[in-house]
Chains A and B, each alone.
Chain A
Amino acid sequence: MSPSAAEAIFPEHHYLNAGTTARSWLLTTDHKRIGLMYMIAVLVSLLLGGIFALLLRFEHLTPGPTYIDAITYNRLFTLHGVIMVWFFLIPSIPSIFGNFFIPIMVGAKDVAFPRLNLASFYIYMFGAAFTLWGMIHGGADTGWTFYTPYSTTTTTVVIPILLGIFILGFSTILTGINFIVTIHTMRGPGLTWMRLPLFVWAIYGTSIIQVLATPVLGLTLLLIAVEHAFGFGLFDPARGGDPILFQHLFWFYSHPAVYIMILPAMGVISETVSAAARKNIFGYRAVAYSSLGIAFVGFFTWGHHMFVAGQSVFDAGAFGVLSMFVGIFTSIKVFTWVGTLYRGAIRFTTPFAYICGFLYFLVFGGMTGIAVATVSLDVHWHDTYFVVAHFHFIMVGAALMGFLAALHYWFPKMFGRLYHEGWGLVAATLIILGFNATFIPQFLLGNMGMPRRYYNYPERFQTLHVASTAGSTLLFFGFVIIFIYLALALKYGRVAGRNPWGSRGFEWDTPSPPPTHNFEQLPVFTHGPHEYQEVPEVSRVA
Chain B
Amino acid sequence: MNEFLRRLLFLPEQASTFATKVDSLHYFVIITTMLVSTAVGLTALLFFVRFRRRSETQTTPLLNPPWWLETLFVVVPLSFFLAWFARGYRDYVEMRNPPKNSMDIYVQAKQWMWKFSYPGGPNGIGVLRVPANRPVRLLMTSRDVIHSFYVPAFRVKQDVLPGRYSETWFEAVEVGRYQLLCAEYCGTNHSNMRAEVIVLHPEEFDNWLADQRRGRALQQDGAPTADEEPIVQADLLRQGEALVVRFGCLKCHSIDGSPHIGPTWLDLYLRREPLEGGQTIIADEGYLTESMMDPRAKIVRGFNPVMPTFKGRLAGPEVAAIVEFIKSLRSQPVEQARSRRPVYEPIRR
Interfacial residues, chain A to chain B (CB-CB below 8 A): 3-5, 70-71, 74, 141-143, 147, 149-150, 153-154, 237-238, 242-244, 277-280, 282-284, 286, 307-310, 313, 316-317, 320-321, 324-325, 327-328, 331-332, 334-336, 338-339, 341-348, 352, 355-356, 359-360, 363-364, 367-368, 370-371, 373-377, 379-380, 382-384, 444-445, 447-449, 451-458, 464, 502, 531-535, 538
Contact = CB atoms under 8 A, between A and B. Distances in A.
Interface stretch (B158-166, B268-276, B328-336): B158-166
Contacts of B64: 280, 282-284
Given A363-B37, A447-B11, A316 B92 contact: yes
B283 interface: no
Contacts, number: 288
B40 interface: yes
A448 B91 CA distance: 20
B74 A74 contact: no
A3 B57 contact: yes
B88 A320 contact: yes
B-side interface size class: 35 or more
Interface of B: 9-12, 18, 21-22, 25-26, 29-30, 32-34, 36-38, 40-41, 43-45, 47-48, 51-54, 56-65, 70, 73-74, 77-78, 81-82, 84-85, 87-93, 95-97, 144-146, 148, 150, 152-153, 155-159, 161-164, 166, 179, 181-192, 194
Given A141-B187, A308-B148, A342-B51, A328 B81 contact: yes
Contacts of A324: 78, 81-82, 85
A74 B166 contact: no
Given A339-B65, A376-B25, A377-B29, A237 B161 contact: yes
A153 B146 CA distance: 12
A347 B56 CA distance: 10
A323 B179 CA distance: 32
A376 B22 contact: yes
A282 B53 contact: no
A147 B162 contact: no
A352 B161 contact: no
Contact of A70 (B26, B183, B188): B188
10 contacts: A284-B64, A324-B82, A334-B40, A356-B44, A356-B45, A367-B37, A374-B29, A375-B85, A445-B10, A533-B59
Given A338-B47, A342-B63, A374-B85, A383 B10 contact: no
A451 B85 contact: no
B163 A243 contact: yes
B118 to A, nearest CB: 24
A341 B191 contact: no
B96 A313 contact: yes
Contacts of A334: 40
B89 A376 contact: yes
Contacts of B53: 278, 345-347
B179 A458 contact: yes
Nearest to B26: A377
Given A243-B163, A374-B85, A379-B95, 11 more contacts: A70-B191, A142-B185, A237-B164, A313-B92, A313-B97, A321-B85, A370-B33, A379-B156, A382-B157, A449-B153, A533-B62
